[in-house]
Amino acid sequence: MEETRRRRGLLTAVVVAVAGGLLLAHPWLPGLPGNPMSLVETFLPWLGLAVPIGLIVAAVRRSLLAALVCLLVGVAWVGVFREPLGSDESGGAYDLTVVQHNVSDENTSPSRVGRILLGPDPDIIALQELTEESLPAYRLVLDPTHPYRATVGTVGLWSKHPLTGIARVDLKPAGVGPGWDRGLRAVVRSPHGDVTTYVAHLPSVRLRASQGYATAWRDESAARLGRALAADRSSAVLVLGDLNGTVDDRGLAPVLSEVSGNRDAFAFSWPAALPLARIDHVLARGTAEVGPTWTLPATGSDHLPVAARVRR
C-alpha cells in the first residue's frame, strides 16, 4: 500500500514537472509534426491548472514530493505571468483608444455590436469578418462618430481622424483561392501624430486527425504580414487584428519580431462563451506603445472585442 502511494505521488510529481517544463522552456523546444507546441503555447497560462490539481492529488496520496513539485511549478507560473497578475488597468496617460473585434460573419445585430464598440469612446475601430450584406449596417452605426473609413475585402477600419495612404496588404497564403482579402494599411492622422495602422485577419487554425494542429496557412499569412511590417519605415505602427494565435505562439514570430503588445492583462478574447486565449491583438512599435488592454462585453460574435490605450 505504501509503495503504491509513493509511485502514485511520483507520477503526479512527474506530470506537474512536465507542465512546469513546458511553461518555462517552450520557446526553445523544437517543432514537431502536427505542431503540438503551437497548441500548447496557445493555452500556455492554463498549464497552471496542473498545480491545484496536483496539490489535491498530493494531499489525497500524502505525497510530500508531489506537493513540493507543485509548489515549485506554482512559483514558476507566478513568475512567468507576474505582469497580468499585478496589472493596473487604470492606466496612466494615453493618447488614443483603439478597439479590435472579429464581429463574425454570422452576427445578426450590427447595431448592438456598434453600441458596445463605441462604449470606451475609441479613436480607432478595426473589424474583421465584414460582409457585403452587413457593411451598410456597420456604417450606419459607426459613421456618425467615426466618419473616416477604409475597407478591403472582409476587414475594415473606422477612425475619428482622417485616413490617408489606404492600401490592400496581401496576406493570402499560396493555397487560398481568389477573393480572399484580409489585410489593409492606412495612416491615421491623429492629433498626436501619424500612426500607420494595419488591420489583419489571419487564417483560422484547426485540430485535424490527419494533420494535428493545422497552422500552415496561418503561419504563411503571418510571415507575409511580418515582411510587410519589416518593410514599413513609419515611425509609429499599430497592428489590429484577429491573428488566430497568442503572443506565445511561435507561428506568430514573424509578426511579433516587428511589433509587441501589452502583457499586463490576460484579456482572453476567444471563445466568447468561455474565453481561454487572447487571439485578438493590439500591437505596436516605434513611437506608438500599447498601454492597458482589456475586453468588452460579448456582442454575439464568437470573439470578445479587445480595447487598448495607446501612447503616441
The pLDDT of residue 93: 87
Q: What is the secondary structure of 12-29 as a DSSP string? A: HHHHHHHHHHHHHHGGGS
Q: Specify the residue for cell string 507566478.
A: 78
Domain boundaries, the chain: 2-80, 96-311
* CA distances to 114, 235, 300 from 191, in Å: 24, 15, 33
pLDDT of 56 strictly over 80: yes
Fold classification of 96-311 (topology level): Deoxyribonuclease I; Chain A (3.60.10)
- The model's pTM is 0.93
pLDDT digits (tens, 9 = 90+) for 145-189: 999 999 999 999 999 999 999 999 999 999 898 889 999 999 999
pLDDT digits (tens, 9 = 90+) for 96-110: 999 999 999 999 899
CA distance 59 to 100: 44
* CA distances to 52, 169, 187 from 224, in Å: 41, 9, 20
pLDDT digits (tens, 9 = 90+) for 67-87: 999 999 999 999 999 988 766
pLDDT digits (tens, 9 = 90+) for 191-236: 999 999 999 999 999 988 778 999 999 999 999 999 999 999 999 9
